[in-house]
Amino acid sequence: MPVNEGFVPKIQVFEPHRASLPPLIPYLREFWTRRAFASELARFGDKAEYLDSRLGKVWLVLNPLLLGMVYYLVVTIIRPGGSVSGMTRLDHLLIGLFTFYFAQNCVTAGALSITSGGRLILNQAFPRALLPFSSAIQSFQQFLPTIPVYIFVLVAGKWAYPTTIVPGWTWNFLWIPFILICTGLTGFGLALVFATLNVYFRDTTKLLTYITRIWMYLSPVLWLPSSLRGNMKILLWINPLGPVLNATSRVWVSGESLTQPIILGCILWAVASIVIGGYFFISRERDFAIRL
Amino acid sequence: MRSASKSPIVMPDDLAIRIENLSITYKVSLEAKRTMKNALMRASLNQKERTRIIEAVKGLTLDVPHGSVLGIVGSNGAGKSTLMRCIAGILSPTEGRVIVNGKISTLLALGVGFNPALSGRDNIILGGLASGLNMDEIAEKTDEIAEFAALPDGFIDLPVRTYSSGMYGRLSFAVAVSMTPDILLLDEALSAGDAAFKEKSFERMRQLCAEARTILIVSHALATVTDLCDTAIWMHKGAMVAKGKPEEIVDGYLKFLNVGSLPSNYEDM
């Protein structure tokens, strides 16, 4: 074979597979092989985003913290008192908001990832799902600094108000990685749906602004899961983030373990989002280069 | 991005690319803006979206041997870039198939994928990873790329938005050729840089050919096609009109354009 030394023959065959999935095993293998591309893209995306900002990455912490304060004021003015103490409400609101924003950022940044990566898509062949995946990684990296902020608020709250209930060390905290994985997978799966829609309808991201706002009001962030009565409890299950935010509140704020229905809810929404989003995205991704 | 082939793959060892009866057709919207709002409006009025079918490539069959340099000429809209994207696996065929034997590197539009806020070094890393290299391979090549691109001192660590268009183009070309591809696809990529850089680019491509790597060049600069290529094809409205020696193909193309063969016509047609 008249090819250069060290060349390993690699036959690639490109055939029509319109409106159906490409062979999944090679696709997933290539996705996995190029995972470093997604993580570096996330790292550089983060770097580029905060390059011109004087406060830089401090905004990653300040932004959700300030939002938490704003929502706390809104919630305490609208519905002062209640069955739980103010600090416990603040703790629930903060960790709920941070987790919700992690998922929301996965979706909103992921929705833009294909249209904003147009030139890369027109020049290189790679599994396109790497772009929303990179957005999910970036969202996770932006979520991480909020954890010490939450812990700081928790400790400061206990110091200022000794009656505040703070969970001591418990093995139930081991559920946190599970919650974060489920949140990330659900966010990534939904990002795949909205990234595809945004290629076909360029106003999807505008609509997403309203969807995410309504989504937050319907999620146990500004209200406690235990405050729902009767049929309203269904909100915790029909909302893709309902189970993970319920789990977040239980573990982070109360130090409680997860119940079987909550665990199942988290897993089902994560799997459903990935399967539905993945099918929707991958079956259409060869069309992206034409649409961009 | 391999496909599972239903029919058996017949690929002689000496071929880098086999294109079998390839057709690429796509539908483009004639709407000014494709939005959900417009789609809902149309649905409420029971109207259909105005679309047009584009037959970008029609029934093209072609074999490209290893170690050859194939030039592709044709007017705008001839289907040259669509063909290149299909060979790269970026676009899907509508009919027929493309069989590629080897690792592909592409430079289908100048500076593609570069993030202007990031430094040249950061963009080299991203470009390399997107091409399928690993971090170690990229680290080995970064200095070589910077040297080949002939960037002024220190520019490699400055944001790409501070680069001149020539520096931008040179860096893009340097990244594409440094990936040690088996097949290099270049679409209007040789206009970057001055005469010295152009000569360096030509030299690098000759070196790649000597290593039995295959190069496909789409260019309106016909002198590039006659200087570098050993075979050329002429495409018109999605079909291959002729295939042969570059000089003959270029002459035929110039006669078709009815512009004669003045030296200036070899610059940009």
The 10s digit of each residue's pLDDT in A236-286 is: 999 999 999 999 999 999 899 999 999 999 999 999 999 999 999 999 998
A281 near A128, Cβ under 8 Å? yes
pLDDT given at position A9: 43
Per-residue pLDDT tens digits for A71-126 = 888 877 766 555 566 778 888 899 999 999 999 999 999 999 999 888 888 888 89
Taking CB atoms and an 8 Å cutoff, what residues of chain A touch B92?
A: 14, 16-18, 286-287
What does each C-alpha distance from B201 to A124, B144, B178, B231 come to in angstroms? 21, 14, 11, 19
CB A249 within 8 A of CB A89: no
Has residue A4 got a pLDDT over 50?
no
Greater model confidence, A211 or B106: A211
Q: Which residues pair with A194 in a beta bridge?
A: none
Q: Give me the DSSP letters along A196-213.
A: HHHHH-TTHHHHHHHHHH
CB distance from A50 to chain B under 8 Å?
no
pLDDT reported for residue B116: 84
- Predicted confidence (pLDDT) at residue B6 exceeds the cutoff of 70: no
Whole-number percent of chain B with pLDDT over 90: 35
**Residues in chain B within 8 Å Cβ distance of A120:** 112-113, 130
Residue A148 in this model has a pLDDT that exceeds 80:
yes
User: In the structure, what pLDDT confidence band is assigned to residue A5 with cuts at 50, 70 and 90?
Assistant: very low
Residue A197 pLDDT class (50, 70, 90 cuts): very high
pLDDT computed for residue B179 by the predictor:
76
Domain boundaries, chain A: 24-285
- Hey, is the C-beta of A21 within 8 angstroms of any chain B C-beta? no
Nearest CA to B99 out of B10, B185, B171 is that of: B10
DSSP state for residue A220 in the 8-state scheme: T
User: What is the per-residue pLDDT for B118?
Assistant: 87
| Nearest-CA distance B116 → chain A (Å) | 9
pLDDT (mean) for B42-68: 91
CB A150 within 8 A of CB A94: yes
Phi and psi angles of residue A120, each rounded to the nearest 5 degrees, phi first: -65, -40
pLDDT at B91 over 60: yes
C-alpha–C-alpha distance, residues A99 and A87, integer Å: 18
Q: Is the distance from CB of B18 to CB of B11 less than 8 angstroms?
A: yes
Interface contacts A/B by beta carbons within 8 Å: 171
- What is the model's pLDDT at position B265? 57
- How many angstroms away from the CA of B93 is the closest CA of chain A? 5
**Contact in structure between B131 and B110 (CB atoms under 8 Å):** no
Six-digit token string for B61:
């069959």
pLDDT above 90 for A189: yes
Tokens of B262: 């003045």
Average of per-residue pLDDT values in chain B: 85
Q: Which of A1-10, B13-22, B94-103 has the lowest mean pLDDT?
A: A1-10
Chain B (126-165) residues lying within 8 Å, Cβ to Cβ, of chain A: 126, 129-132, 134-135, 159
Q: What is the pLDDT of residue B99?
A: 95
Using a CB-CB cut-off of 8 Å, the residues of chain A touching B3 are 12-15, 17, 22-23
Looking at the complex, report in whole angstroms how far the Cα of residue B260 sits from the nearest Cα belonging to chain A.
Answer: 34
- Give B-chain residues touching A40 at CB under 8 angstroms: 125-126, 129
Q: Return the pLDDT at B162.
A: 92
Closest CA of chain B from A252, distance in Å: 37
pLDDT tens for A7-55 read 334 788 888 875 678 888 888 998 999 999 999 999 888 877 776 666 6
Nearest to B66 among A2, A123, A197 (CB): A2
Q: pTM of the prediction?
A: 0.87
- Model confidence pLDDT, tens digit, residues A99-110: 999 999 999 999
Determine, for residues A16 and B94 on separate chains, whether the beta-carbon distance falls below 8 Å: yes
CA angle A199/A205/A209 to nearest 5° reads 165
- The three-state secondary structure class of B184 is strand
Asked if the C-beta of B209 comes within 8 angstroms of chain A's C-beta atoms, the answer is no
A10·B102 Cβ contact <8 A: yes
Q: Which domains does chain B have, with CATH numbers?
A: 21-44+52-266 (3.40.50.300)
Q: What is the pLDDT of residues B152-175, one digit of tens each?
A: 888 999 998 899 888 888 888 888
Note the pLDDT tens digit of each residue in B11-50: 888 899 999 999 999 888 887 778 888 888 888 998 888 8
CB contact under 8 A, B88 and A13: no
Asked if residue B9 has pLDDT above 90, the reply is no
Q: Is the pLDDT of residue B80 over 80?
A: yes
How many Å apart are CA B212 and CA B73, to the nearest integer?
Answer: 23
Average pLDDT over residues A220-237: 90
> How far is the alpha carbon of A262 from chain B, nearest alpha carbon, in Å?
35
| pLDDT at residue A83, rounded to an integer | 58
Tokens of B70: 């194939």
What residues 215-234 of chain A have any CB closer than 8 A to a CB of chain B? Answer: none
Query: Residue A48: CB partners within 8 Å, gap ≥ 6?
Result: B115, B117, B118
- Please count the other Cβ atoms lying within 10 Å of the Cβ belonging to residue B251: 14
Tell me what the pLDDT averaged over chain A comes to: 87
